[in-house]
Chain A
Amino acid sequence: MGFERFGKVSYVSETKVKDFVNYLEQGKIMGTQCRICKKIYFPPQMDCNNCYSKDSMVWREIVNEWTLITYTTAHFAPTGFEDDIPYILAIAESPEGIRLFARLSKDVSEDQLKPGMKLKLVPVRLPNDKISYEFKPIGG
Chain B
Amino acid sequence: MSKEVAIVGVGQTAFTRACGVTIKELCFEAFKEALEDCNLEPKDIDESIICSAPEYDKQRSPAGAINEYLGLNPKPTFYAESICSSSTTGIRVAYGLIKSGLSSVVAVIGFQKMSELSSREVQERMGRGSDIMWESPFGLFMPAGYALFARNHMKTYGTTEEQLAKVKVKSSKYAFLNPKAIYQREVTLEDVLNSRVIASPLKMYDCCANADGASCVIVASAEKAKKITDTPIWIAGIGSASDALSIAKKTNLTGLTCTVEAARQAYAMAKVEPKDIDVAEVHDCFTIAEIMAYENLGFCKPGEGGKLIEEGQTYIDGKIPVNIDGGLLGKGHPIGATGGSQVRTIVQQLRGEAGKLQVKGAEIGLVHNVGGVGLYANVLILRR
Contact at B137–A6, with CB atoms within 8 Å? yes
User: Would A110 and B200 be within 8 Å (CB), given that A9-B136, A70-B253, A89-B140 are in contact?
Assistant: yes
Out of A8, A76, A84, A101, name the residue touching B135 (CB < 8 Å). A101
Contact at B141–A78, with CB atoms within 8 Å? yes
> Residue B148 at the A interface, CB < 8 A?
yes
**When chains A and B are docked, how far (Å) is the Cα of A99 from the Cα of B134?**
12
A70 CB contacts on chain B under 8 angstroms = 148-149, 151-152, 155, 253
B135 CB contacts on chain A under 8 angstroms = 101
Contact at B198–A11, with CB atoms within 8 Å? no
Out of B127, B198, B200, B246, name the residue touching A78 (CB < 8 Å). B127
**When chains A and B are docked, how far (Å) is the Cα of A43 from the Cα of B134?**
7
B120 CB contacts on chain A under 8 angstroms = 79
Closest residue of chain B to A116 (Cβ to Cβ) is: B155
**When chains A and B are docked, how far (Å) is the Cα of A78 from the Cα of B144?**
11
Q: Give min CB distance, B316 to chain A, whole Å.
A: 33
Which residues of A71-97 are within 8 A (CB) of B?
Answer: 71-81, 84, 87, 89-91
Contact at B127–A81, with CB atoms within 8 Å? yes
Number of contacting residues on B, CB 8 A? 37
Contact at B199–A72, with CB atoms within 8 Å? yes
Out of B124, B137, B141, B150, name the residue touching A7 (CB < 8 Å). B137
B132 CB contacts on chain A under 8 angstroms = 11-12
* Interface footprint category on A: 35 or more
Contact at A101–B141, with CB atoms within 8 Å? no
Q: Give min CB distance, B161 to chain A, whole Å.
A: 13
B248 CB contacts on chain A under 8 angstroms = 91, 99-101
Q: Mark B124-157, 1 if CB is under 8 A from A, else 0.
A: 1011100011111111110110011111100100
**When chains A and B are docked, how far (Å) is the Cα of A3 from the Cα of B151?**
32
> Residue B43 at the A interface, CB < 8 A?
no
A43 CB contacts on chain B under 8 angstroms = 133-134
Contact at A101–B140, with CB atoms within 8 Å? yes
Residue from A69, A74, A77, A80 whose CB has the most chain B CB atoms within 10 Å:
A74
**When chains A and B are docked, how far (Å) is the Cα of A117 from the Cα of B210?**
36
> Residue B360 at the A interface, CB < 8 A?
no
Out of B126, B128, B155, name the residue touching A115 (CB < 8 Å). B155
> Residue A102 at the B interface, CB < 8 A?
yes
Q: Give min CB distance, B201 to chain A, whole Å.
A: 8
Contact at A8–B137, with CB atoms within 8 Å? yes
**Which residues of B does A touch, CB under 8 Å?**
120, 123-124, 126-128, 132-141, 143-144, 147-152, 155, 196-202, 246-249, 253
A to B CB contacts below 8 Å, 11 in the list: A11-B132, A11-B133, A11-B137, A15-B133, A70-B149, A76-B199, A78-B139, A89-B139, A91-B148, A101-B246, A102-B138
Closest 9 CB pairs of A and B: A7-B137, A78-B127, A81-B139, A72-B147, A101-B248, A70-B152, A11-B132, A79-B124, A73-B200
